[in-house]
Structure 1
């Protein structure tokens, strides 16, 4: 059970693969901008009680594998990440805002998200085993009933 995390009333394993891009998929995430984005993603995820498992900031897109507690919605997490990082980038690099194609939007609209689940065969075996185990327990209880 080492892969599972605990909160006061829940045990969970909620992992997501998220990908998003700068507006017009410009190859701008390099050098100091890349470092700032990477550091801020880690800091904001920690602030939201999320655990970054893998992070890959490429010149024109970002891959993030993150464990998210059930109380945090993916849409709110992405709103926080994209919003806070864009604000910080525009404050740190005012020239970015002056380019006519940026406006107040650094990131493209939307993002890709996919759950990272357990192996399907493992789940099928677990479900099959649980059914047999429940039947065995029921049979045992019925033998005690008079």
Structure 2
């Protein structure tokens, strides 16, 4: 996979979140037309915010999204945007979701940051910064 660094006026970034959430009681309701409509809604919400969906998988009882948002958008904001919007629209369009569930989504979600560099690589880079400090002629190091 080629690394794609995105830019804004104040930042350069390559940030991704793996977000997973489930229907209330882990009910297997994300099938057929509901599944298809959910995929459309997730893509629409991402496009509205300028987020890139790298991968999306809707299973009967949970959703996986790999999304690349702007760094100003926190993981909780991203998850809640997807969950709130899709719940509102799906429950309006599919009455059986209202009758079977008090709310469409459970309150919880899982999110992990994903990048092109491992955590171990970043730790090693930070811990060895002092080894890469360029020496200036005639300057003392503190």
What interval of TM-score do these two structures reach, taking the shorter chain for normalisation?
Answer: 0.7 to 0.9
Larger Rg: 1
Of 94, 111, 114, which residue of structure 2 is paired with 1:113? 111
Give the match for residue 7 of structure 2. Answer: 6
Q: Give the drift of 1:106.
A: 0.3
For residues 111 and 131 of structure 1, the distance between their equivalents in structure 2, rounded to whole angstroms, comes to 39
Superposition CA RMSD, Å:
2.0
Q: Give the drift of 1:130.
A: 4.5
Give the match for residue 47 of structure 2. Answer: 46
Instruction: Flag the 1:75–1:123 CA change in 2: closer, same or farther, 3 A.
Output: closer
Partner SS for 2:19: strand
For residues 82 and 93 of structure 2, the distance between their equivalents in structure 1, rounded to whole angstroms, comes to 16
- Alignment of structure 1 residues 1-146 onto 2, 5 Å: 2-99=3-100, 102-103=101-102, 105-117=103-115, 118-124=117-123, 126-127=125-126, 130-134=129-133, 137-138=134-135, 140-142=136-138
Instruction: Flag the 1:97–1:125 CA change in 2: closer, same or farther, 3 A.
Output: closer
Q: Give the drift of 1:77.
A: 1.9
Structure with a larger share of its residues in helix: 1
Alignment length, in residue pairs? 137
Quick check: 1:48–1:72 contact (8 Å CA) kept in 2?
no
Which 10-residue stretch deviates more, 86-95 or 119-128?
A: 119-128
TM-score (norm. length: structure 1)? 0.82
Q: Give the drift of 1:84.
A: 1.1
Q: What are the ranges of 5 or more consecutive residues in structure 2 without an aligned counterpart?
A: none
Q: Give the drift of 1:24.
A: 0.7
Partner SS for 2:54: strand
Quick check: 2:18–2:64 contact (8 Å CA) kept in 1?
yes
